[in-house]
Structure 1
Amino acid sequence: MKLTIWGAARQVTGSMHLLQLEDYNILVDCGLDYEKDTYQEENQYFPFDPSDIDVVILTHAHIDHSGNLPTLIRMGFEGQILCTPPTADLTELLLLDSVQIFLSKQHKSKSKGRRGRGSGTGPQPLYLQKHVMDTVERFVTIGFHRDFRLNGNVSLTFIPVGHLLGAAAVVLTVQDQGREKKIAFTGDIGRNNYPVLVNPEPIPQVDYLVSESTYGGKIHSSDVSLEQKLVETINESCVKFPGRLIIPAFSIGRTQSLVYALNQIFSKGLLPPVKIFVDSPMAEIATDIYRRHHDLVNDEAKEFYKQKGDEFEFEELSYVNDKKESLSISNYHEPCIIISSAGMLEGGRIQDHLYYNIQNYYCTILFIGYCAKGTLGNRLLRGDPIIRLRNRDLMVYATIQQTDLLSGHGDHNDLVNMVKHQDPAQLKRVFLVHGEDKSTQSLSEALSEIGYQVSIPEKGEVFEL
């Protein structure tokens, strides 16, 4: 049995791991690697023949894990894609959105060329809607904790790990040359007591573990609860002063958890009513998917539904559909909360709200997620006094805040505790992926100190198991 790490090696994006058995090849995740500006060109070729892959196993829907599946199919993959039911639904939504992003970049480049600034050629889309539909047809959905036999020598079990609705760790039991071997891939590990999502479950004993390390060496805030932070921020920005609170949030996952947290706050009467706009068509569709798979939300959310109704719908809340309605929010002069995507401010309707409010002293912008270096969100968080938007330099007068209380990733302690469910005497090796060097190294040192054998693979590194 041979393991090759083809993605998310010493970086966060582009998860892709190849497990080769005798006459059978398994690919775990097939994500977009968007660490570079040229990511569309970087992702159009694979370091193996896609037609040689027999099956793909998808841990969850996020684009850095699922986003290159249509390219794999376009280049010759003919097998099934195994995942949980919510992962199939959310992945379709995200892949269709990726097509729109590709086409938008191409359109902007062509427009640039017509105006005489640049060639206007632009990158060709990695894939189109047809390729996404071809991908969706390959999905075979499997519930959690169900033993699914891939062939005579390999069986699969999905274990819930929080992070996103339907997200799973993959446990493979393999008969290899007369011996049984078990290998698990964590995907992305969530955190305990996260709104809407279940807590990550322990992974059963395996021989090899491929683990994410995103927050290695980092500890999430614990001095204040999410409810306290939101109440305090809303009170300061919308109640004491007649201002507005803008929350950039990813449409899938983060927005649903935030909406539920706000529903709890206002249903308890912790604040006077404040109008809330969710300005993201994708978020509304994703919320319907959460409703469709309501049996997989956590017990607290299920109980809330029994007692008070839909977690994602309440009196103060409005979902904004068309662009005209979105633009009209700028003329809403009462205090309000605006939730919009994208979370790092790199496109989407959030840029409209930013454009009209960044110079408003009575506006607060609350970041609830990670902002990668080079993004507009990162520039605001580091304190840039001027930003450029729509070819204008805008002074930053709005208040900028950030909290990690809605981060969907488990922190250093969560990751260590996840591995500690494995007996060091039986776990032959931990492979750390999906993390920047500093984070991965911190987690590696912590695990080594308590007796685990750890490797930090390079991209393309091969391991005989």
Structure 2
Amino acid sequence: MKLTIHGAARQVTGSMHLLEIGQYRILIDCGLDYEKDRSVQSNENFPFDPRDIDVVVLTHAHIDHSGNIPTLVRLGFNGQILCTPPTADLTELLLLDSVNIFMNKAGKSRKHGKGKYNTNVQPLYLQKHVMDAMERFITIAFNKPFRISGDVEVTFIPVGHLLGAAAAVFKINDNGTEKSIAFTGDIGRKNYPVLDDPQPLPPVDFVVTESTYGGRTHSKGKSVEETLVDVIDKCCVKEQGRLIIPAFSIGRTQSLVFTLNKIFSSGLLPPVKVFVDSPMASRATRVFRKYHNLLNKEAQDFYNSLGDEFEFDNLTYVETLQDSRQISNYYEPCIIISSAGMLEGGRIQDHLFYNIQNYYCTILFIGYCAKGTLGNRLLRGDSIVHIKDRDLAVYATIKQTDVLSAHGDHDDLVNTIKTQNKATLKGVYLVHGEESSMQPLSDALTADGYPVTIPEKGVSYLL
């Protein structure tokens, strides 16, 4: 049995791991690599022939895990794609959204790239390729073993993080020897709004685990509700201003809306108008409703006693661009939830354009902002930022909280591995993290006696 880490090696994006059992090839995740030194088009340069892959196993829908599947299909992959039912539905939304992003970038390239600077950027894939890929999806319920081939069985174990997200646990007959390996995907955190806590992994021989928050722990103390109550009370109640929350449309927005529903329905704050300005968030929320039985007990109890977790008085889901622009004419205190979370494109830029110089506006970041993004520039304290071809002074209040981060922190990652018996666990491979995160996680696990490897991209390991 051979393992090769072809993506998310010493970086966060582009998850792609090849597991070979004899001549049988399994690709675990096939994500877009969008590190700053790579073009989108470079994602079509696979380090193997897509036609040689027998099956793809997808841990969850996020683009850094799913976003290159249509390219794989376009270049000849002809097998099945296995995942949980919610992952299939959310992946389709995200892949179609990626097509729109590719097309917009191609249009801008043709418009601005004239003469020798014309890069003639082509979309990585089109809607047709997304639909071709979706036809290959086979969905498998959580905790139900599924035999991929005569020698390989896979089981999806819930890990929180996102609706449908799973660790893929393989049982393998390798030339008469029973072996097992788990790929964690992205691990969630306990007590997260809407989602169940991650389930422990069963005993395995090898673990390939994410390491995003290695060396970092989440803030302790205030709950999600308490944090939001404090910010909303100051910004919208006492100052009669507006609160803008950049949030990813799938996952983060639904958890945020449910928390706001709890706050207002319990009377912790007087009513405040809430706009969810993201058509993608509206579509994703319908998927969350569809799989209501997979939400956590708190969300289901709320539904049984008070109704829809994602609907309440004074909440408006904004669909059209015209209605989105009308929000700037709403002069009462309000909360605006909009994508994208790092402020790179999307309707959020309109709201920033009209409010960044508003002393009575607060911008609350609830997620990570990569270096080089507008969100990162605001968080580091830039006094002037460039939005929609204009340089604007920053008078709005900038705040950040990690209470809605969907990733488990250092302690969660360590505890995930500690459920394994160190006497029988033969290897832990760290992926999906910067080296500055991987090293402290490796140090902590090694000190506890676990065998840890930080793989180089493209290096193969015989297991």
Q: TM-score range by the shorter chain?
A: over 0.9
Residues 228-262 of structure 1 show CA distances to partners (whole Å, capped at 9, x for unaligned) of 11000001100001100000000000000000000
SS of the residue 2:149 aligns to: coil
Alpha-carbon separation, structure 1, partners of 2:200 and 2:39: 34
Measure how far apart 1:111 and its partner are.
Answer: 1.4
Measure how far apart 1:319 and its partner are.
Answer: 0.2
Letter in 2 for 1:60: H
Residue 63 (structure 1) aligns with? 63
Q: Sort the Cα spacing of 1:67 and 1:81 in 2 relative to 1 into closer, same or farther, 3 A.
A: same
Letter in 2 for 1:311: E
Measure how far apart 1:379 and its partner are.
Answer: 0.1
Residue 158 (structure 2) aligns with? 160
Letter in 2 for 1:154: V
Residue 40 (structure 2) aligns with? 40
Residue 451 (structure 2) aligns with? 453
Measure how far apart 1:210 and its partner are.
Answer: 0.1
Q: Between 204-213 and 118-127, report the one with greater CA deviation.
A: 118-127
Residue 195 (structure 1) aligns with? 193
Q: 1:284 aligns with which of 271, 277, 282?
A: 282
Measure how far apart 1:37 and its partner are.
Answer: 5.2
Q: 1:333 aligns with which of 328, 331, 334?
A: 331
Instruction: Establish whether residue 15 from structure 1 lines up as the match of residue 15 from structure 2.
Output: yes
Alpha-carbon separation, structure 1, partners of 2:446 and 2:63: 31
Q: 1:424 aligns with which of 398, 403, 422?
A: 422
SS of the residue 1:276 aligns to: strand
Residue 246 (structure 1) aligns with? 244
Letter in 2 for 1:91: T
Alpha-carbon separation, structure 1, partners of 2:240 and 2:143: 50
Residue 101 (structure 1) aligns with? 101
SS of the residue 2:456 aligns to: coil
Alpha-carbon separation, structure 1, partners of 2:432 and 2:459: 15
Residue 206 (structure 1) aligns with? 204
CA RMSD of superposed structures (Å): 0.9
Measure how far apart 1:109 and its partner are.
Answer: 1.2
Letter in 1 for 2:365: F
SS of the residue 1:463 aligns to: strand
Q: Sort the Cα spacing of 1:392 and 1:240 in 2 relative to 1 into closer, same or farther, 3 A.
A: same
Residues 394-436 of structure 1 show CA distances to partners (whole Å, capped at 9, x for unaligned) of 0000000000000000000000001000000111000000000
Q: Is the 8 A contact 1:12 1:433 kept in 2?
A: yes
Residue 383 (structure 1) aligns with? 381
Instruction: Give me the TM-score of the superposition, normalised by structure 2.
Output: 0.99
Pairs within 5 Å for 1:248-327: 248-327=246-325
Measure how far apart 1:110 and its partner are.
Answer: 1.2
Residue 149 (structure 2) aligns with? 151
Q: Is the 8 A contact 2:349 2:388 kept in 1?
A: no
Alpha-carbon separation, structure 1, partners of 2:236 and 2:270: 10
Alpha-carbon separation, structure 2, partners of 1:414 and 1:200: 10
Q: Is the 8 A contact 2:80 2:136 kept in 1?
A: yes
Alpha-carbon separation, structure 2, partners of 1:88 and 1:373: 30
Alpha-carbon separation, structure 2, partners of 1:392 and 1:208: 52
Q: 1:346 aligns with which of 344, 347, 354?
A: 344
Letter in 2 for 1:439: S
Measure how far apart 1:96 and its partner are.
Answer: 0.2
Q: Is the 8 A contact 1:80 1:140 kept in 2?
A: yes
Query: Across the two proteins, how many residue pairs are aligned to each other?
Result: 463
Measure how far apart 1:38 and its partner are.
Answer: 3.8
Measure how far apart 1:89 and its partner are.
Answer: 0.1
Letter in 1 for 2:280: M
Measure how far apart 1:391 and its partner are.
Answer: 1.4
Residue 171 (structure 1) aligns with? 169
Letter in 2 for 1:328: Q
Letter in 2 for 1:236: K
Residues 355-410 of structure 1 show CA distances to partners (whole Å, capped at 9, x for unaligned) of 00000000000000000000000000000000011211100000000000000000
Name stretches of at least 5 consecutive residues in structure 2 with no aligned partner.
Answer: none
SS of the residue 1:82 aligns to: strand
Measure how far apart 1:106 and its partner are.
Answer: 0.6
SS of the residue 1:150 aligns to: strand
Alpha-carbon separation, structure 1, partners of 2:346 and 2:196: 29
Q: Is the 8 A contact 2:366 2:405 kept in 1?
A: yes
Instruction: Give me the TM-score of the superposition, normalised by structure 1.
Output: 0.99
SS of the residue 1:18 aligns to: strand
Q: 1:133 aligns with which of 112, 131, 134?
A: 131
Moved beyond 6 Å, runs of 4+ = none
